[in-house]
Amino acid sequence: MKKTQLLGEGFRPAWLLTMVLLMLAGPLRAQEACLLEAVPLAQRLEQATLVVEARVKATRSQDTGAHIFTFNELEVFKVFAGTMPPGPLTVVTAGGTVGLRREEVSNEPVLGPDEQGIFLLEPSPNQPGRFRLTAGPQGLIRYNLPTATASDPFRRYASIPGEVYAALEQLTGRPYAPLQPNHVLETRLRESARPGAAAVVTGFTPAAVAAGTGTVLTITGTGFGAVQGNSTVGFANANTGGSSYVTPLAVDYLSWSDTEIRVRVPSVTVGGAGPAGTGKIQLTVGGAVALSPEALTVQYALSNLQYQDAPYAVAMVGTNGAGGYTLTYNENFAANAAAKAAFERALATWRNGTGANRIVAPATTPVNSNISNDNINVVAFDDAAELAAGVLGVTYSYYTGCSGGSGISWVLTGTDYIFDGERSWQFGPAAPTGGQFDFESVALHEQGHGIQLGHIIKPGAVMHYAIAANSQNRVLNATSEVAGATAEIDLSLVAPRCGNAAYARLASALPVTLVRFEAIRSSAGVRVSWETAAEVNSAYFAVEATVNPAGQWQELARQPAAGTSNTPRSYTYLDQQPRPTQRYYRLRQQDADGTVYYSGVVAVAADEVAELGAYPNPFTDVLQVQLPSPAAAVLTLYDASGRRVLQQPVAQGQQLPTLSGATLRPGVYLLEWQSVTGQKSRIRVLKQ
């Protein structure tokens, strides 16, 4: 998320009026979804040569040898910009399935038959006469036909005619040109204008789940209908932070009655829209929408493949003869010592926390942008802006299927990683500043995709769908990344391997699994805290600090470690004399045999608090708030005139409170956090 700090301590209502005018002048640049940088709609329209409302009429995947591409033929209803080409209109997307070979690319939309939306298109550079989406996933404003709404990775549109059409016509300066009626959409718009009585969701069990593991969710309430019919269960879309909803495949609905629904929590959903994420459950019955009173927590998502209308789990295998995967640097990437060091720190984090078995080859490869399914797992920067606008990095995952006595099995045969070579990166170990993106955090995230983890909605977690400039997520979370990767590795150890060698945990994993390490400034000083999931023969932890992470480090204190423990352990240290400048902290952990390891580095700015966050932004009902510190505080919401419209106390230790904005008018608001020690942080939020 680009979390913009608004105004100074001298804030006055007049500043808010200026802010509103700035908002009207351009789109809200909110959260970087799917590790993207937001590209304003005006810029996407300028880049696109053709903008249409269309339905995916047919899809066909083709294996070119190096890659699999999917050709999506569109049926066009309206033209908002550009000129229709002669013949069929085809959009090419990377990835797809041909026979028992599958390829997936993170940040690449998957289009399903009958998918509808606004397609912002530009000529495909590799497929003459065909098109690709402008700015990757931001080139599709995807329709949700059951609710007659739409969304892209950064925004939810509550009305297709009133918001989507209006925005496009305002920016293009002309009305759309109709080609043929869109009967399905028109019917849904009429039904949504006069919905029947909404169902009532009273609860669900369990409260916390994992997606893509076969977990069954039981939803209770009234008015669901005796049979499912066209009714659907919606989960918050982890690829968009909950600004849209995803629906399970038909096979994931196990039972449906007027008072109870049993459904599997999916990571593969209709249209390939994204995995289920944390948020309220949406039930659509007869055109009316009902939300659950509480949010479902999705701790992690394991990647599944959709094959013949059903989801399949994926097993990792030992392609390198050592029970895992060997990665190879492109020559240009290897020449960047800082990037290489950051990437390897990320690999070590996954290895130490979960035993993920991946190593780096000593030799390099000249392969760069011409990566392919060639058994060489390449790590590279993109060549000549190969990545779409706004994309920070992508992971190519290659799969092979096989049939046996228990049915079809799928294995991961390789991965390639490409990062934006033109980006302003902070390679570390220092913290990113001045609009930089943290390369180690992005590398950790993409490597998580390589371990077959999908996105989640959990601010600060490595697999959280969003990352902000000037922020870092370098520590695995015990209940999300560690638990998810452990589950995937456990599955891989016992799953059929399609003739491949067995996968194995890396035997040289470090004896301490560090799942949290942070430093937060308060009025008493800087509180350094960390948590381990397991320890083996650990002797002690030393807290070290410096004002220059490339220079000398000073030991501040030592704390005895747990020795050997398989239960979570928490540690804390208060630095009561921090310097008035930015200060960096790290842990030095020593084993009983004298071996020393170091944690990642965290930075604490001078006399500042961490940033306040809120999502989804824009929001429609509930706003989830991420607090800068666990101190007792007060949250206050101001409207555009500076009038206080909502105030809520926050207890000590509460990090993720929620605000109910259901009764608020649509518009721009200022959210303020003020701790009991007088610290403040503010951001703007938009109510739709």
Nearest by Cα to 471 from 38, 39, 31: 31
Q: What is the CATH number of the domain that holds 277?
A: 2.60.40.10
Nearest by Cα to 521 from 645, 641, 605, 400: 605
Mean pLDDT of 116-121: 96
In a domain, 7, yes or no: no
Q: Which two tokens stand for residue 625?
A: 């708030």
Nearest by Cα to 284 from 261, 267, 268, 254: 261
pLDDT in tens, 215-247: 999 999 999 999 999 899 999 999 888 888 999
| pLDDT for position 653 | 66
Task: Show the CA angle centred on residue 259, arms to residues 253 and 263, nearest 5°.
Answer: 20
Q: What single letter denotes the amino acid at residue 61? A: S
| pLDDT for position 385 | 53
Task: Using DSSP bridges, classify how beta strands 602-604 and 613-615 pair: parallel, antiparallel or unpaired.
Answer: unpaired
Nearest by Cα to 77 from 107, 44, 103, 52: 52
Instruction: Mark whether 430 and 376 lie in a shared domain.
Output: yes
| pLDDT for position 507 | 59
> Residue 50 belongs to what domain range?
41-192
Mean pLDDT of 316-331: 92
Instruction: Mark whether 355 and 481 lie in a shared domain.
Output: yes
Mean pLDDT of 162-179: 95
* Residue that has been written with the tokens 């996105």 in this structure: 455
Q: What CA–CA distance (Å, rounded) separates 585 from 528?
A: 8
Q: What single letter denotes the amino acid at residue 342? A: A
pLDDT of residue 607 exceeding 80, the answer is no
Q: Three-class SS of residue 677?
A: coil
Which of these ranges, 503-507, 560-564, 643-647, has the smallest mean pLDDT? 503-507
Residue that finishes a domain, picked among 479, 502, 525: 502
- End-to-end CA distance of the chain: give it in Å, rounded: 18
As a whole number, the mean pLDDT across the chain is 84
In a domain, 29, yes or no: no
Contact between 395 and 415 (Cβ < 8 Å): yes
Q: What CA–CA distance (Å, rounded) separates 456 from 443?
A: 16
Instruction: Mark whether 178 and 240 lie in a shared domain.
Output: no
Q: What is the dihedral of CA 381, 383, 388, 391, to 10 degrees?
A: 10
Which of these ranges, 138-147, 357-366, 449-458, 634-643, has the smallest mean pLDDT? 634-643
Query: Total structural domains in the chain?
Result: 5
Q: What CA–CA distance (Å, rounded) separates 383 from 418?
A: 9
Q: What is the Cα gyration radius of the chain? A: 25
| pLDDT for position 65 | 82
Q: What is the CATH number of the domain that holds 383?
A: 3.40.390.10
| pLDDT for position 329 | 94
In a domain, 35, yes or no: no
Query: 362 or 220: which carries more pLDDT confidence?
Result: 220
Instruction: Mark whether 348 and 289 lie in a shared domain.
Output: no
Q: What CA–CA distance (Å, rounded) separates 547 from 430?
A: 10
pLDDT in tens, 150-164: 988 878 898 999 999
pLDDT in tens, 504-514: 887 555 567 77
Q: What pTM was estimated for this model as a whole?
A: 0.71
pLDDT of residue 354 exceeding 80, the answer is yes
Instruction: Mark whether 617 and 590 lie in a shared domain.
Output: no
In a domain, 21, yes or no: no
In a domain, 429, yes or no: yes
Mean pLDDT of 604-631: 74
In a domain, 309, yes or no: no
